[in-house]
């Protein structure tokens, strides 16, 4: 119902914009100019579709963190990519999604300093051309040496 959303926005002085024809009007604007969006709230199915669309826009599920929040502060944070059994145990998996999910967890716990450090190190490492990410999207795998990435991140943290 739009009423709780509207009353929440008036309390917090947050701009609330309802896409009455959501999700169709939302998706083509999302594809053309995703920067116009900030926080999106929606029911289950639309969320499933739109969250994967947004993940595709930023580089895929290999770099997308997520969390499931419940009542009384109960929360589970997880990466949403596949299990990739063909590269399991080979030091090839991209740790970004799970690491950023862990950063979300730290923020949820109020440990913002630690979260900021790890997030900055992670972003710097991705930007770092020495650690090459060979990526294919959508159910495909990121190939990267986890060990070398971890070492680079560790150095960035310290």
Which residues contact another protein (rule: CB under 8 A)?
A: 20-21, 23-25, 27-32, 45, 48-53, 55-57, 60-61, 137-139
The minimum distance between CB 132 and another protein, in angstroms, equals 19
- Residue with smaller CB distance to another protein, 57 or 90: 57
The minimum distance between CB 138 and another protein, in angstroms, equals 5
The minimum distance between CB 121 and another protein, in angstroms, equals 26
CA distance 33 to 35: 5
Give the angle 127-128-134 at the CA atoms, nearest 5°.
80
Which residue(s) pair with 68 in the sheet?
Answer: 76
Q: Of 79, 78, 84, nearest to 63 (Cα)?
A: 79
Token representation of residue 60: 């895929």
The minimum distance between CB 23 and another protein, in angstroms, equals 5
- Residue with smaller CB distance to another protein, 59 or 156: 59
CA distance 103 to 101: 5
Q: DSSP state, 89? A: T
CA distance 19 to 61: 26
The minimum distance between CB 91 and another protein, in angstroms, equals 25
Q: Are strands 134-135 and 142-143 parallel, antiparallel or unpaired?
A: antiparallel
- Residue with smaller CB distance to another protein, 109 or 137: 137
Q: Tokens 């680079």: give the residue.
A: 152
């Amino acid at each position: 119902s739009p009423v709780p959303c509207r009353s929440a926005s008036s309390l917090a002085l947050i701009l609330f914009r309802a896409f009455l024809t959501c999700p169709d009007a939302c998706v083509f604007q999302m594809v053309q100019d995703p920067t116009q969006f900030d926080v999106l709230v929606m029911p289950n199915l639309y969320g499933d579709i739109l969250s994967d669309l947004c993940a595709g826009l930023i580089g895929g599920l290999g770099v997308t963190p997520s969390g499931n929040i419940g009542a009384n502060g109960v929360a589970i944070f997880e990466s949403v990519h596949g299990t990739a059994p063909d590269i399991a145990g080979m030091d090839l998996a991209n740790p970004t999604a799970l690491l950023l999910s862990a950063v979300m967890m730290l923020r949820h716990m109020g440990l913002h300093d630690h979260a900021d450090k790890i997030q900055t190190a992670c972003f710097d490492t991705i930007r770092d051309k020495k650690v090459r990410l060979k990526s294919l999207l959508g159910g495909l795998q990121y190939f990267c040496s986890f060990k070398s990435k971890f070492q680079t991140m560790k150095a960035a943290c310290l």
